[in-house]
Amino acid sequence: MAAYILRRLALMIPTILGIMLISFTIIQFAPGGPVERIIAQLQGHDVGATARFAGGQSEMNNLSGGNFDGGSKYRGAQGLDPAFIEELEKQFGFDKPAHERFLIMIGDYAQFDFGNSFYRDVPVSQLIAEKLPVSISLGLWTTLITYLISIPLGIAKARRSGSSFDIWTSGVIIVGYAIPGFLFAVLLIIVFAGGSYFDLFPLRGLTSDNFDSLSTGGKIIDYLWHISLPVLAMTIGAFATTTLLTK
């Protein structure tokens, strides 16, 4: 058993590397990229997100207003200083060949260095650390509720196979399995949180603004109130699959 577990864990390494290589390759051939996005913004499209790279609005105007010949490989780079484009390439690592960029990416990821967010200008690891507790919380609640419902229901369906109970519950399970989780989440928001029909649950956040002033019981209720719809949306697909597997 231990050898099997170790073998499966060892297989994770080439699998992860393969996924990273495929993703990296697709991104290399996809149009756009950080350099082209900055160039497009320099030419007058949503300048604000690029100011920190070019040194402010006036500097950006100077860069985009020069008389430089357009031999750049980037679309829309006509009129920009080639030295500035080279600096952008160096900043994002595009001055190196693709295989070297891939190896650098692997090394950075191994050190949990995911770079900075282009839009927020903060380390990606910081953004992950901020959102990870919420993801873990929702995942644990989803797993708990899924198993508490699916295993007893699957056993009951197996014991009463072919009965009306089995047929009707199978119909409900198939519908739940067929509906994507994100679509079910949108339906829940529209019906129960969007104000179109009922305004019973909050649209966002893990707790209310006055969470710190609530009693212990109030904090628990407030927390459960906020996670009800997300957990329900996430449970649907897993619930259907686990029930059928249990049966």
Positions of the chain with pLDDT under 50: 47-53, 56-60
Provide the whole-model pTM: 0.65
Question: How distant, in Å, are the alpha carbons of 35, 101, 114 from that of 32?
Answer: 8, 17, 20
CB 153 within 8 A of CB 223: no
* pLDDT at residue 78, rounded to an integer: 66
Question: Tens of pLDDT along 175-206?
Answer: 878 888 888 888 888 888 876 788 888 888 88
**What phi, psi does 119 have (nearest 5°)?**
-85, -40
